[in-house]
A and B are shown apart, each in its own frame.
Chain A
Amino acid sequence: MFRNQYDTDVTTWSPAGRLFQVEYAMEAVKQGSACVGLRSRTHAVLAAANKAASELSSHQRKVFRVADHAGVALAGLTADGRVLSRFLRSECINHAFVYDAPLPVSRLALRLADKAQVCTQRSWKRPYGVGLLVAGLDESGAHLYYNCPSGNYFEYQAFAIGSRSQAAKTFLERRFEGYNDYTPDQLIRDALSAIKETLQGEKLTSSNCTVAIVGRKDDGTVEPFESIDGKKIQEIIDSMEAAEEAPPPPAAAPAAGAGAAESSSMQEEDKGTDAVPMDI
């Protein structure tokens, strides 16, 4: 970005009312490899593009199970992400221990956001350099949140973060309106398509992406948060490619999205807005 005299530590405001260190932390998220998340009323899907440090190494884990009912995908400094995942796991376990119930996803996102905020207001700390897509299922249905290093968090119908995520966001923006009624399979396909957009020409295979899903089936049983097996992903990718030969199916978008009284009263943005550093 640009160096100036107000960006030395996180506790210094700039005259324009910005905290540059926090904004720089958000840049770190943009450098990480892409992740997308999308949700229907009953299921939430996370997908990540795998990046390996070199051909010789294994790829980094970007999707973590946090509890049976929730998981995260991250972009940015994966080490920070690992530590935050451990924190989220222990929050879920402690909540279940005390209240004998799963931690609602909105509260999970809130805890994470509060933790991130602390690092923006202590001179001896630095902001976490990782953005997390938190996906989960609770009593009010499936949810997807994006937590940024600034401590802000928003609920989304679908979102993408990381490098080249704008391509995925454009793809999702066109289709998100129908997501509430999508089947889990359709969600997975769209997630894979969105990831494909970020690969920019590289071939999508099961070895360069990870997909995880959590949700409640029609009969009420809960499918716990789990990564989908590589073979199954490859099958879906293959069938998607085969379908591409045929004319693309009409992107079903029942305009019943008017059902406003969706979950929480908190600000929920539907699709990827351009990653604004700090939404004031």
Chain B
Amino acid sequence: MSRRGDWVYENNGGTCVAVAGADYCVVAADTRLSVGYSILTRDHSKICELADKCVLASSGFQGDIKALHKNLAARELLYQHQHNKRMSCPAMAQLLSNTLYYKRFFPYYAFNVLGGLDSEGKGCVFTYDAVGSYERTGYSAQGTGSSLIMPVLDNQLKSPSPLLLPARDAVTPLSELEAVDLVKDVFASATERDIYTGDKLEIVVINKAGTKREYIDLRKD
């Protein structure tokens, strides 16, 4: 699309969302892979399970995303060997940030949302920009549909100002099923107006018992 002869990126589209709960985390992404106005495939996963309590969803340029996921998975294996346990979600969050900033001057074209359980078992979501700036939040959306989804999540999940007392958790008080329903709803809405979002929705739910995966059909147009 770009007129530059040296433009090495392309945007394969798609949207990723994560919502943290008191003892669960929902990470979801659509499965459409596009380039320009065409669809390359309707069945491509953007989600990578990095550790038993840590799941990464990324949208953007799939070449960079594949490389980034492979990189992080290899680092997690190394961590396992060295520390005899799997990486915690906050540790992976920092590693992802460092990995992204490492390529500050030739970035990974990846917009990431990391979700999982922290060491206390509470849900956590970390949201990133392309060069590693990150923040722990209660929910986030990244990708082509993010501007359609974020306002809705803000409306439903945003906690009142941290200046107000008593202090309230950023994580949502919603139950797991309610959170999954919310995610399905926002994706259905984003699919309506964002051409790059659709086909199928992959939802991964992480809780104390482990990881569950489900697939929901979305509009294919």
Contacts and interface: CB of A to CB of B under 8 A. Distances in A.
Partners in one complex: yes
Interface in B40-85: 70, 74, 77-78, 81
A186 interface: no
Interface in A49-82: 65
* Number of chain B interface residues as a range: under 10
A48 B74 CA distance: 29
A61 to B, nearest CB: 10
B81 A89 contact: yes
A93 interface: yes
Interface of B is mostly: helix
A93 B82 CA distance: 13
Contacts of B78: 89-90, 93
A124 interface: no
B74 A97 contact: yes
Interface residues of A, number: 8
A63 to B, nearest CB: 13
Contacts of A94: 74
A97 B74 CA distance: 7
A224 to B, nearest CB: 11
A93 B70 CA distance: 10
Nearest to B71: A97
Contacts of A97: 70, 74
Nearest to A90: B78
Nearest to A97: B74
A250 B167 CA distance: 72
A97 B76 CA distance: 12
Contacts of A89: 78, 81
B180 to A, nearest CB: 30
Interface string B74-98: 1001100100000000000000000
A220 B144 CA distance: 41
Nearest to A68: B77
Nearest to B75: A93
Contacts of A93: 74, 77-78
Nearest to A88: B81
A97 B77 CA distance: 11
A81 to B, nearest CB: 14
A28 to B, nearest CB: 25
A86 B74 CA distance: 14
Contacts of A96: 74
B210 to A, nearest CB: 17
A90 B79 CA distance: 11
B74 A65 contact: no
Contacts of B77: 93
A93 B78 CA distance: 8
Nearest to B73: A97
A94 B71 CA distance: 10
Nearest to A85: B81
A96 B77 CA distance: 11
Interface in B72-128: 74, 77-78, 81
A65 B81 contact: yes
Residue of B70, B77, B78, B81 ringed by the most chain A CB atoms within 10 A: B81
A60 to B, nearest CB: 15
A93 B74 CA distance: 6
A86 B70 CA distance: 20
A65 B78 CA distance: 11
Nearest to A93: B74
Contacts of A90: 78
B99 to A, nearest CB: 14
Given A90-B78, A93-B77, A97-B70, 5 more contacts: A65-B81, A89-B81, A93-B74, A94-B74, A96-B74
Please give me the 3 A-B residue pairs with the lowest Cβ-Cβ distance, nearest first. Answer: A93-B74, A89-B81, A97-B74
Interface of A: 65, 86, 89-90, 93-94, 96-97
12 contacts: A65-B81, A86-B81, A89-B78, A89-B81, A90-B78, A93-B74, A93-B77, A93-B78, A94-B74, A96-B74, A97-B70, A97-B74
